[in-house]
Amino acid sequence: MDLESVESVEFTKINTELEGERYIQLNVQNTPEWIHYVCELVKKSDALGIVTILDCAYQFGSPNIVNSGLHQIKKKLQKNHSDTEIRDLLERVVVFDDFENLGDVNKLLNTILEVIPTQFQDRPLNCILISNTSIFYWNLRDMENFDDLAELHRICRQLSSRLGCYVVSSRSLFE
């Protein structure tokens, strides 16, 4: 699964010297491209594995919520996939979105294998996607304490190495 080369999507990788082979940090500047990237990530995922999304900005929601990212992904999938294929793909996506700060994200990452719903625990973890970490940046800046951000990157590198799955961390840079 090559997560760095998705057709028609251009992202800026950041801190490449800190990243492991399977830990990717991205600057996102365009929501439609970001949704396309996540859609491709879901499609490229191993058929048995799951994709977890830690949704810091309530962007992905559910395939049934019209304005959500997962609904947009479902619409993209409808162009080339049957309803059964779409259901199978989207059933492998687990979204977590109850975060007040980056510390909450770090706590969940530290226990990711324990919080995955039981129906998925016998499946491999293909990818952990942490979306919109920048939502917490201003709080960290105001407190002049970036320890939680440093911890996020440490945990992401550790998880990608230990679990052998991709970990993608994104931050938004919308103009």
Architecture of domain 12-172: 3-Layer(aba) Sandwich (3.40)
4 pLDDT exceeds 60? no
Q: How far apart are CA 5 and CA 24, in angstroms?
A: 12
47 pLDDT exceeds 80? no
Q: For residue 115, count other CB atoms closer than 10 A to its CB.
A: 13
- pTM score of the predicted model: 0.84
Class of residue 48 by CB neighbours under 10 A (exposed 0-12, middle 13-18, buried 19+): exposed
Confidence of residue 55 (pLDDT cuts 50, 70, 90): very high
The domain limits of the chain are 12-172
Summarize pLDDT for 68-79 with one digit per residue, the tens. Answer: 899 999 998 999
Q: How far apart are CA 174 and CA 125, in angstroms?
A: 30
Q: How far apart are CA 119 and CA 49, in angstroms?
A: 12
Q: What is the pLDDT of residue 154?
A: 93
| Dihedral, 20, 21, 26, 32 alpha carbons, nearest 10 | -150
For residue 141, give the 3-state DSSP assignment.
Answer: helix
Summarize pLDDT for 126-151 with one digit per residue, the tens. Answer: 999 999 898 898 888 899 999 999 99
Q: For residue 57, count other CB atoms closer than 10 A to its CB.
A: 15
175 pLDDT exceeds 70? no
